[in-house]
Amino acid sequence: MNLLEIMRTSPVIPVIAIDDLAHAVPLARALVAGGIRVLEVTLRTQHGLSAIRAIAEQVPEAILGVGTLTRSEDFAAARDAGAVFGVSPGLTKELIQGSLASGLPLLPGVMTPSEVMAAREAGFHQLKLFPAVPAGGVGMLNAIAGPLPDVLFCPTGGISQETAAQFLACKNVACVGGSWLTPKDALAAGDWDRVTALAKAAAGLK
């Protein structure tokens, strides 16, 4: 699957931070049961790579991304663990090299028109607008669709079930990212039914 196909698989990509490795598989199963198959597991906790490995082995329906990629050496490790795409908060020369060398497609973060242009020059046409709401949200996306029409976004950062539809209505948005499908209290309580309900609601967004 290429990045465009992955972004078009479902309207929302949950951004997941695993504090307890035992949560990884039941959480992934709960999201998949709700119709959300594309999952971004971040490296912002120590369990990120192990969680990716466990989900890849035990939840084959999941299409796994590795998030919060900030170092080139993490690309190959994430790919070997089972990730099929990467997400980063920004874009650097090192990350471009890491993506090329590992073969792991990268959805890089951008926040300004110049960053969109630099990413495009580096060959990236699918981008994460991050942090989406502080960057200007829907107004920003609509404003850059005119001068920069040939890029497609996954806005992430500050989006909720209530606001996601406004973003998805933008012609340059393929999907959105967010952490609202995986509330920390639901994970701590092992309330997987709640996660599945949140996933179902998100999967129904247009």
Residue 179 in the binding site for ligand 3PG (CB under 6 A): yes
Q: Which stretch binds ligand 3PG (CB under 6 A): 2-10, 138-146, 153-161, 190-198?
A: 153-161
- Choices 3-11, 71-79, 117-125, 150-158; region in contact with ligand 3PG by CB under 6 A: 150-158
Q: Which is nearer to ligand 3PG, 26 or 131 (CB)?
A: 131
Of the residues 5, 40, 57, 121, only one is catalytic, namely: 40
Task: Classify the phi-psi angles of 123: left when phi > 0, otherwise alpha if psi is within -120 to 50, otherwise beta.
Answer: left
Q: Which is nearer to ligand 3PG, 82 or 157 (CB)?
A: 157
- For 6-72, the DSSP string reads HHTT-SEEEEE--SSGGGHHHHHHHHHHTT--EEEEESSSTTHHHHHHHHHHH-TT-EEEEES--ST
CB–CB of 175/202 below 8 Å? no
| Member of 126, 156, 163, 196 binding ligand 3PG (CB under 6 A) | 156
DSSP 87-115: E-SS--HHHHHHHHHHT--EE-EE-SHHH
| Nearer to ligand 3PG (CB atom), residue 12 or residue 104 | 12
* Distance of alpha carbon 71 from alpha carbon 60, whole angstroms: 27
Name residue, tokens 């989006």.
159
Contact characters 159-178, ligand 3PG, x per CB under 6 A: x-----------------xx
Choice among 115, 121, 128, 171 that is catalytic: 128
Q: How big is the site for ligand 3PG, counted in residues (CB under 6 A)? A: 9
**What are 79-84's contacts with CB under 8 Å, separation 24+?**
79/103, 79/104, 81/49, 81/50, 81/52, 81/53, 81/56, 82/52, 82/53, 82/55, 82/56, 82/57, 83/41, 83/52, 83/56, 84/1, 84/6
Give the residue with the Cβ less far from ligand 3PG, 76 or 138: 138
Smallest gap from residue 70 Cβ to ligand 3PG (A): 12
The verdict on 9 binding ligand 3PG (CB under 6 A) reads no
Integer-rounded Cα Rg, in Å, for the chain is 16
Residue 157 contacts ligand 3PG per CB under 6 A? yes
| 128 in catalytic set | yes
> Is residue 15 a contact point for ligand 3PG (CB under 6 A)?
yes
40 is catalytic: yes
List active site positions: 40, 128
Binding site for ligand 3PG (CB under 6 A): 15, 156-159, 177-180
